Amino acid sequence: MSKRSRPVCEKVGGRLVPALAMMAAVMTIQAILGASPALALTERPDKTYTTNGKVYATALSADSKTLYIGGNFSEVRERPSGTTGRSLAVSNVAAINVETGVPIRTWRPRVTGDGAVVRSLALRNDRVYIGGNFTAVNVPGDPSKPRQNLAAVGANTAKTYLSSFAPKVGSDTSYVYALAADDSRLYAGGGFSKVDGQPRKNLAAFGLATGALTPDWKPATSVAPSCTNPKCAAKVRSLKVGPRKATIFVGGPFSHITGSNGVGDDRQSVARLSTDTGNLTQWKIPDGTISAPQTAWDLTWAGDKLYVGFGAIRNYVAAFNIKPQSKGAQIWRFNTRGNVQTVALKRDGSRLFFGGHFGLNKFDKKVCHKSKFLRGLASLNPQTGEIYCDFVPSLDQRKRPSYEGAWTLTTTNSYLWVGGGFIGVSDSVNPQPPGTGATEVPQTNLARFRL
C-alpha cells in the first residue's frame, strides 16, 4: 500500500477525512479499471506450511523466490502437529517457496548433533551459510561430514551440495548467533573464543573465495568492569553490513569492544566496526543512552537511521542517527513490555516491523488509544516511532510464561514472513488465547502476511 493511502494511527485529528477521501478515490479509479481495490496490510496470516519447532532465522534468495528457514524443527507441515495433512521430514533447516508457502522438497540438508539448532543464516554467491550449535551437516546422497557450528551448502534448490567450507568455531557449547556478508567476506558473531584454533572473541571473518579465516580481522567483545549485573555478557547477537559496505554494525549484550588494532572502548550493546580492518569507528551512541544490562537482539538500517530491537531489564525498539557527524544520537524510542527480538523494514521504507515476546509472558500493554493489546508483532513509522494501528496481530500462546514470540522477520515486495515460537495468530479484534474465538489462525512458528 502506498504512503498516501496508509492509515496513520494515534495522531489522527483533522487528517482522517482527507486520508479516507484519498483512499476512496484510489478505490474508485481501480474499480473503473477493473482491478481489485488496494487492501490494507492484513492482520490475518495466509495459509502456508508451518514447522513443528521454533524458527530462529530466515534468509531470502537473491531473486526473492525462496525463503530459507533455520531453527530447531524436524518437520515442515501443511497443518499443525496432531492434525492430518502433508508433511516433509527435515533437520533444522528448510526452503520455502515464497509465493506458494510450500516447502521445496529437493533442498533438505541435515544439520545434526546433540541438541543441534540453527540460529543464523546468510546467503552469498549461491551459498547458504548456516550458523548455530551443531557438529555435522550432510545433503541427500552424501555422508554426514563434521561441521563445528558453521557450514555452507548450495542455495540451488534443484541440486544441493555441501561446501568444503568447514571452519571449527568454538566448542560443543559455542553458538554462532549472527551472520552477515559483503562482497568479499562472511562475518560471524556469537558466543565463542576460538576459530580454527586461533583466538577470536565472539567475532570472526572469512574470505568468501577461499573460506579461510581472515587473519588480521579480529575485534573482540567483552564486559566492561562497570557492568556488574549478572545479565551482563559479551556475546554478539546481531550483525548488519552498513552503508557502502565500509562498516558493520554489531549488536548484543556486550559493554566493551576492542578493535583488531587493540584499541578498545566501552560500547553498550551496539558498536560499529570497519569491514576492512575490524577497528572501531568514531561513531558511537552516547554514554548513558542505553542503560546496562541490555541486549541488542537485532538491527537494520536505511538512509541515515539505524533501527535496533532491545530487551533485558528494559525493552524497546529505537532509532539512531548514523551520519558521521551525528554522534549516534537517539531519534526516537518505543517502549514494550518484553524483548524486541527482531526488526525489518518494508521494502519501500514506509514501515518498520518489529517482533518479540513483548506482552506475552508476564505483562500486557495496550496501544492505539488502549484499544489493542501489543502481543509479539506490530509496525511503526520509521521516521517518528509512532505505531500503526492497522497491523497489531497477536502471536498466540497456550500459557504464560512458556513463550518466545517472534525471532525473525523477512520482507519481500509482497509479503512479511515471521518465524519464532508461537502456536497461532489472532487479529486485534479478538486478541484472546486459542480456542476463545474464530479469528485465531493456527500458524505454528512460521507465518506469512500480505503487504
* All cell numbers assigned to 401: 510464561
What is the DSSP secondary-structure string of 237-251?
A: -EEEE-GGGSEEEEE
* All cell numbers assigned to 2: 502506498
Rounded distance, CA 223 to CA 236, Å? 12
Amino acid 361: pLDDT: 72
Q: What are the residue boundaries of the structural domains of the chain, listed by start?
A: 1-40, 46-450
Amino acid 427: pLDDT: 75
First to last CA, the chain: 7
In three-state secondary structure terms, 326 is helix
Amino acid 429: pLDDT: 57
Amino acid 115: pLDDT: 96
- The closest alpha carbon to 392, from 155, 107, 41, belongs to 41
* All cell numbers assigned to 168: 571449527
Nearest-5° Cα angle at 274, 272 to 277: 140
Amino acid 40: pLDDT: 62
Amino acid 3: pLDDT: 37
Q: How many CA atoms lie within 13 A of 291 on its CB side?
A: 5
Chunk the chain into consecutive blocks of 10 residues (it has 451) and report each block's average pLDDT, rounded to whole numbers: 40 38 38 37 93 97 97 94 89 98 97 98 97 97 95 95 97 97 98 98 97 98 94 96 97 98 98 98 96 97 98 96 91 97 98 94 87 94 97 83 87 97 80 51 95 93
pTM for this model (two decimals): 0.89
Amino acid 400: pLDDT: 62
Rounded distance, CA 128 to CA 69, Å? 10
Question: For domain 46-450, is the CATH number 2.130.10.10?
Answer: yes
Give the H/E segment covering residue 9. none
> Strand pairing of 415-421 and 446-450?
antiparallel
Dihedral sign from CA coordinates of 301, 307, 309, 312: positive
Rounded distance, CA 451 to CA 448, Å? 10
Does residue 293 have a cis bond before it (omega within 30 degrees)?
yes
Rounded distance, CA 283 to CA 286, Å? 9
